[in-house]
Amino acid sequence: MTAAALELFARSVTSLPPAIMAACLVKRCTYLLREATRLASAGSPVGQLRLARVAHRTLTSSATSPSSCFPGSLSQHVEREQAFTHYPERQEVDELIEKATRPEEVLELLGGGHCLHQNHGALMLIQLARLLAEKPEGKASLIQDARFQQLLHLVNNQITAVWHGTLVKLLRSLYVLALPAASRELRSVEQEVRWRLRRLRYKHLVFLAESSTAYMQERGSQELLAELLVHLERRWAEIEDGRTLVAIMTKTGHLSESLMNRLEDKCLELVEQFGPEELRKVLVALAAHNRRSVPLLRAISYHLVQKPFSLTKGVLLDLAYAYGRLGFHQTQVFQRLAADLLPHTPSLSSGEVARCTKSFAFLKWLNLPLFEAFAQHTLSRAQSISVPHLCNMLLAFARLNFRPEQEDQFFSLVHEKLGAQLAGLDPSLQVDVLWALCVLQQARGAQLQAVLHPAFHTQFLGARSPKGQSTFQKLVHINATAQLEHPEYTGPLLPATALVPRPSAPDRKVTPLQKELQETLKGLLGGADRGCFLVPTQYGWVLDAEVLLDPDGQFLPLRDFVAPHLAPPSGGQPLPPGAKRLAFLCWEFPNFNSRSKDLLGRFVLARRHVRAAGFLVADVPYYEWLELKSEWQKGAYLKDKIRKAVAEELAK
Ligand SMILES: *[C@@H]1O[C@H](CO)[C@@H](O)[C@H](O)[C@H]1NC(C)=O
C-alpha cells in the first residue's frame, strides 16, 4: 500500500525540481508510514477495514492498468486517494498559503524550496483570487507576472490530480481572476470539471451553480453550463436541505425550465422544514422568474399562516411583493401580512411604503388600517417624500379607489409636491398620474389642460403598442372627466376624430354574464330596436346594454333620438319629454377589490361617467346574478333593477 501511494505521490510531484522532489518524497514517506502503522495498530476495526479496502483497490487497479499514462488510470488514482479518510498532513506551506495577505507572498512560495503536493498550486490560485477579489487593477498586473504564468502551468499539469473540492474552487477562482476566456489553463480546468461532473459530490455542483453560473454565461462557457444544469437536474433527488434548494433555485432556476420544475417539486417536499427566510427566498425566486406554481404557492401560504414564526419587516415586504407580482390571492396570508406590517409602518422608508402599497394594489387588497397608516406615513414625511414614490402611491390608491381619512391634507400635499414637477415626468406616467387623480376626483383644471393640449396628447394618438393604447384609453377617460365632471372646464379637449379610426370596443370576449344579460333583456324588450348591446361611448367605456324608457317605464326604440354619448354622436330627434336612457353595467369578479363588494377605481370612474352623461344605471354584479337560477328569476331581477333605478332618480 505504501508503495502504491508512493508511486502516486511521485507522479504528482514530477513537475518539481529534483532536489525538492527528493525532500518531499522523504517527508511524505515518513508520513505515510506513520499513518499506516497508526491505522493498523490502533486496532480499530474501521481503520483496519479501510486499510484493507484501499489495499485491495490498489492491487486490483494496478493489476488491470499497469501503465499510468492514461487519463483513466490517473483519475482512478485521484479517486483512490480520496478514499483515504486522512488527507496528507497539513504542511507548513498550507499555512503559508492561507495566511498570505498579499499576492506577492503567495507567489514567493513558488521559489522558496517548499514541498508542494498536487493541490498546492490550485490552493495558491484560490488564495490569489481571494486576495484580489475586490481589486480589478491588481488582476491585470498579476496575469502579466511570469511567476503567475508558471503557477498556471504547474496547476495545468497537475489538473487531473487536484481534489474535487479544490477543483471547483479553482474554477471559480480563475473566473474571479478574470483570466481571458480563451486561456488554455481556464479551458483545461473547465474541461476537467466537465469530465468529473458525474463524480463530483452534489454539494460541489451546487457550489458551481451558486458561485459560477453568471461567469459561465458571461464567458461563453455554454457547454459546461448546460452540462452542469443537466447534472443538477438529473441528481435533484440528492438535494437534502432547504438552503441548497433555495440556492440552486435562485441562481439557476431561470436557466432551465425542467430543472426549475424539479426544484419546485423538491420544494413541495421540503417546504415543511422551511423557515421564514427560505420561504421568502423561494417566493422571491418564483416572482423573479414569473413562475406561478399554484401547488407550491398554496403550500407556502399554508405554512405562512400556520406557523408561529415572526416575520421581519424585510421578509414581510418581500412576501407582499412576491404575492403581488405573481397575482396569487390568499386572503389569510394577506391578513397576516397586513397585521404584521402595521406595527412596522413608522420604521419604513418612503420607498418601502410606496413599494408595499403598490404590491397590495396589484393584489387588489385594500386593508383600511394599513392604508391609513401608509397615508399617515406619507403626511408625516411630507418634507422628504419624493415625487416618484408619491406617484406610485397615487396610482395604487386610485386602483383600489382608496381615499384616506385625511383626504384634504393628503391631496394638498400631493398637489404641492406635484406642482411644477408633474410636467417634467415621463409623458405616459403623467397621464397615469392624472388619470389616478381623475379616479380620486382630485384633478385640477390646469392639469387637465396640460395633458389634453394637442402639443401633449398628439404623441399618443396613433399609438399601436398595448402600453401606448392603454395610455390613449386613459386620455379618453381624462377627456370625459373634463367634459362630464368639470363644468367650468373650457378646453382644450381631444378631437372627436381621434376615436373614429380605432374600434372603440376592443374585441373582448363576451362573458357568460354579458351573454345571459343580453338574452334575458331581449326577452323583456319586445323588439330588436328597443335595446342596444355592447355600446361603445366617446367616454372610453362600453355599455353592456342600453335602453330608453318613457315616463311610464315602457321601452322606446333607440335609434331615432339624439345620442351624444356615442362615438361619433348620432340621431337628430330630441328625446320625448320625461324619457330616460338607462345603461346596464355588468360587474365581473375581477372588477372588485379582493373579498369585497367595492369596485376598483377604474370601474367607479366608469360608473360615475355614465351617470354624469345622463344615464340611469342598473348595476348587475356577478355575485347577485349567480344567485338567479331560472329565466323567470333573471327577468324579474332585471325588471326590479329598472324599477329601482327609476325610483332613485325620482327621489332626487
Ligand atoms: C373629448 O371630449 C369632447 C367633448 O365632449 C368630445 O367631443 C370628443 O369626442 C372627445 N374626444 C375623444 C377622443 O373622446
pLDDT in tens, 413-432: 999 999 889 999 999 999 99
- Cis check for the bond before 492: say yes or no (omega within 30 of 0): yes
Residue 504 beta carbon below 6 angstroms from any ligand 1 atom: no
Whole-angstrom distance, CA of residue 349 vs CA of residue 338: 17
Q: Strand, helix or coil at 346?
A: helix
Q: How confident is the model at residue 74 (pLDDT cuts 50, 70, 90)?
A: very low
**CA 641 to CA 454: how far, in whole Å?**
42
Domain ranges of the chain: 2-82, 425-497, 512-651
Q: Whose alpha carbon is nearest atom 5 of ligand 1?
A: 483
Read off the amino acid at residue 151.
L
Answer for the pair 73, 67: CB distance below 8 angstroms, yes or no. Answer: yes
pLDDT recorded at residue 93: 80
Kindly state the helix (H) or strand (E) to which residue 536 belongs, with its residue range: strand 532-536
Quick one: average pLDDT of 538-567? 87
Task: With cut-offs at 50, 70 and 90, classify the pLDDT of residue 572.
Answer: confident
Q: Is the separation of the CB atoms in 512 and 550 below 8 Å?
A: no
Listed in sequence order, the residues at least 6 apart from 65 whose beta carbon sits closer than 8 Å to its beta carbon are 72, 73, 76
Q: Please give the pLDDT value at position 413.
A: 95
For ligand 1, atom 8, which residue shows the shortest CA distance? 496
Q: Can you give the pLDDT at residue 298?
A: 96
Give 362-404 pLDDT, tens digit per residue. Answer: 999 999 999 999 999 999 999 999 999 999 999 999 999 999 9
* Residue range 115-146, pLDDT digits in tens: 777 788 899 999 999 988 878 788 888 888 88
Spatial separation of the C-alpha atoms in residues 250 and 268, rounded to whole Å: 16
**Separation of CA 16 and ligand 1 centre (Å):** 88
Atom of ligand 1 nearest to the CA of 475: 13
Tell me the CA–centroid distance for residue 476 and ligand 1, in Å: 7
Q: CA 8, 12, 14: angle at the middle one, nearest 5?
A: 115
| Mean pLDDT in residue range 39-49 | 42
Ligand 1 within 6 A of CB of 100: no
pLDDT tens by residue, 311-343: 999 999 999 999 999 999 999 999 999 999 999
The whole-number average pLDDT for the span 1-15 is 44
Q: What is residue 344's DSSP assignment?
A: G
Confidence of residue 508 (pLDDT cuts 50, 70, 90): low
Residue 585 phi/psi, 5-degree rounding, is -120, 120
DSSP state of 508: P
Report which of 629, 543, 625 is spatially closest to residue 581, judged by C-alpha positions: 543
C-alpha torsion angle, residues 437, 440, 442, 444 (rounded to 10): 40
pLDDT at 490: 93
> Does the beta carbon of 436 lie inside 6 Å of ligand 1?
no
Residues 6+ apart with CB under 8 A from 82: 163, 164
Statement: residue 208 has pLDDT above 90: yes
For the chain, give the percent of residues with pLDDT over 70: 84
pLDDT mean over 165-184: 91
DSSP code of residue 16: S
Check pLDDT > 60 for residue 587: yes
Most confident of the following: 49-63, 110-124, 486-500, 626-640? 626-640
Out of 449, 451, 475, 538, mutate this one to test ligand 1's pocket (max ligand atoms within 8 Å of CB): namely 538
The Å distance, Cα 535 to ligand 1 centre, comes to 16
Q: Which range has the top average pLDDT, 47-51, 417-421, 603-607?
A: 603-607
Distance 479 CA to ligand 1 centre (A): 6
In this prediction, residues 241-252 reach a mean pLDDT of 90
Best mutation site among 431, 469, 479 for ligand 1 pocket (most ligand atoms within 8 Å of CB):
479
* Helix (H) or strand (E) run with residue 500 in it: none
Question: Closest ligand 1 atom to the C-alpha of 538?
Answer: 14
The atom number, within ligand 1, closest to the CA of 498 reads 13
> Quick one: pLDDT at residue 553?
84
Q: Which amino acid is it at 637?
A: Y
Any residues with CB less than 8 A from the CB of 81 and at least 6 apart, and which?
5, 8, 161, 163
Distance 536 CA to ligand 1 centre (A): 13
pLDDT reported for residue 63: 34
Decide which of 193 and 552 is more confident: 193
The whole-chain average pLDDT of the chain stands at 84
Residue-wise pLDDT for 20-32, tens only, equals 445 544 555 455 4
Question: How would residue 9 be classed by pLDDT, with cut points 50, 70 and 90?
Answer: very low
Is there an atom of ligand 1 within 6 Å of 496 CB?
A: yes
Q: Is the CB of 482 under 6 A from ligand 1?
A: no
Residue 483 CA: nearest ligand 1 atom is: 5
- Cα–ligand 1 centroid distance for 496 (angstroms): 5
**What pLDDT shows up at residue 12?**
46
CB of 448 closer than 6 A to ligand 1? no
Is 478 near ligand 1, meaning CB less than 6 Å away? Answer: no
Categorize the per-residue pLDDT at 89 as very low, low, confident or very high, splitting at 50, 70 and 90: low
Position 483 scores a pLDDT of 95
Distance 486 CA to ligand 1 centre (A): 14
**Does residue 12 contact residue 117 with C-beta atoms inside 8 Å?**
yes
